[in-house]
Structure 1
Amino acid sequence: MKAMTRVLALGRAELTLLGRNRLALHVAVLVPPLMAWAMRRSIGGIDGLGLGETGMSLDELALTAGFGFVLLFVVHQNLVSAYVARREELVLKRLRCGEARDPEILAGTALPAVLISVAQCALLAVVGVGRLGMRGPARPDLMVAGLVLGIVVCATLAAVTSAWARSVESAQLVTLPLFLVSLMGSGIGVPPELLPAPVASVCELLPLSPALALMRGGWLGGMGAYAAIGHVMTALAWTGMAVFAVKRWFRWEPRR
């Protein structure tokens, strides 16, 4: 109970700081839906490329892309900036001198991003069904599993990535590799079914691919237990590697 109380207290303080940082707040709240809308507008002719064969409409592709943008911008990019900022301001160093343990400090810092990402994904789903007339989720359990795994993977990778950034300004640059790789190969811009089989097999192993595949399968249905377990295991493998990297390379003090 004491650990949870400390995490909630740290999360409340971090949420207050996020509210004061208008740029970070706008990026977290506005950028994911705007990116999904812009992608929907820009690929309006993708049906000619065989999108119908995947069982997805263009609106459903944009919706699942919105889930991916939430994970990338709200969780990963926002948390990299937060960890770097708190490190350079010596906040993390001071927190380690108190009662909070290292996992509690990292979790408390990530809590606002987690809550915002869950709220945004829920809002996207409600808008998709209520406003766009899309079918509802076929397997909500897979959607929840994908969202939870996506948040965990992005949060742990954010802690790892923050070690490469020397300042808050450079934090935006170190998040680009995961963004570009996920945009190209994790099903955000192009469904894996439209990629050549060898390329799709490799892309399934990317960090965000398992979470997005579970969320897409949860929305559309048709994902068997074997495929779902495979995606879960891949996401857990990435989480395990990221946790090891955090323990090994995460920086608690400013880089000199």
Structure 2
Amino acid sequence: MAALARAELTLLGRSRSTLLSAVLVPLTLPVALRSAVSQMDLDEAGLDVGLVMLPASIGFSLLFGVYSALVGIYAARREELVLKRLRTGEPRDAEILAGAALPVVVTGLVQSLVLVAACTVVLDIPPPGAPHLAVLGLLLGLVLCAALGAVTATVTRTVESAQVTTLPLVLLSMTLSGVTVPLELLPDRLASVCALLPLSPVITLVRGGWTGDLSAYEALGAVATALAWTVLAVFAVRRWFRWEPRR
């Protein structure tokens, strides 16, 4: 798996389009979002610009740096028959998928840490009240987005079509998972439904890690939701992932 990860890291460095979406997009979107967040009425929810921007930055990194990038990578390796050839060797299926995902996941982790440091300095955010929740949310988000990337790759015919097949989850997560608009600003009934979306528990844990006002019941609910989506995604990959190109 380490050898697969090193090879994938080399290929990642040679793909300008993947680097653009995985590295530059998550770094630039928070800058564009700041003006819109500053116009929101955040006082009633007990939030400020920094407590919205920091989880949003991590959400962008997970969506574009991990999820969208992995869909294109899996589709490309399948169309090039790389996955099919690897299955004839010693690596097991899980090792092949994990080896291909490892460089992007590590990149997403480093990128998230850089964004957290930048937001803390620029927006003068205080230290997290419950750092263990923020760390747990980030780790769950990395694993979940990697699994969802493999699921989406099953319905992605080509590398080019990955830009289309990733749009539903990206748009849904950006608008209704608390990435750009906190769930606290939505009507209670709508917020309860949106809390069940895949990326919602990740954002909830990260934001709750900084505010420190997330109760044990809410934290356990968010963890259970994230784990449920992860288990469902892993089951879908084991059941429907395609290892050969569609002809």
TM-score by length of 2: 0.97
**2:144, 2:221 → 1: CA distance?**
16
Partner of 1:173: 164
- How is 1:1-256 mapped onto 2 (pairs within 5 angstroms)? 7-46=1-40, 50-256=41-247
**1:226, 1:245 → 2: CA distance?**
29
Question: Unmatched 5+ residue regions in structure 2?
Answer: none
Number of residue pairs matched? Answer: 247
Question: Unmatched 5+ residue regions in structure 1?
Answer: 1-6
Percent of aligned pairs with the same residue?
56
TM-score by length of 1: 0.94
Report the secondary structure of 1:138's partner residue.
coil
User: Does the 8 Å contact 1:27/1:74 carry over to 2?
Assistant: yes
User: Does the 8 Å contact 1:37/1:62 carry over to 2?
Assistant: no
**2:226, 2:153 → 1: CA distance?**
20
Deviation above 4 Å: which 4+ runs of structure 1? none
Instruction: Report how far residue 44 of structure 1 moved.
Output: 3.0
Could you report, residue by residue, the CA deviation over 1:180-199 in whole angstroms, capped at 9, with x for unpaired residues? 11011100111101101110
**Residue type matched to 1:89 in 2?**
E
Report the secondary structure of 2:217's partner residue.
helix
**1:223, 1:77 → 2: CA distance?**
29
Deviates more, 1:33-42 or 1:65-74: 33-42
Q: CA RMSD in A?
A: 1.0
Could you report, residue by residue, the CA deviation over 1:177-231 in whole angstroms, capped at 9, with x for unpaired residues? 1011101110011110110111000001000001111011011211111111111
**Residue type matched to 1:31 in 2?**
V
Partner of 1:3: none
Instruction: Report how far residue 238 of structure 1 moved.
Output: 0.5
**1:77, 1:121 → 2: CA distance?**
16
Could you report, residue by residue, the CA deviation over 1:144-188 in whole angstroms, capped at 9, with x for unpaired residues? 110111111111111010011110000110000101110111001
Instruction: Report how far residue 233 of structure 1 moved.
Output: 0.6
Partner of 1:4: none
**2:36, 2:150 → 1: CA distance?**
33
Instruction: Report how far residue 30 of structure 1 moved.
Output: 1.1
Instruction: Report how far residue 90 of structure 1 moved.
Output: 0.3
User: Does the 8 Å contact 1:143/1:215 carry over to 2?
Assistant: yes
User: Does the 8 Å contact 2:53/2:119 carry over to 1?
Assistant: no
**1:45, 1:193 → 2: CA distance?**
15
User: Does the 8 Å contact 1:40/1:59 carry over to 2?
Assistant: no
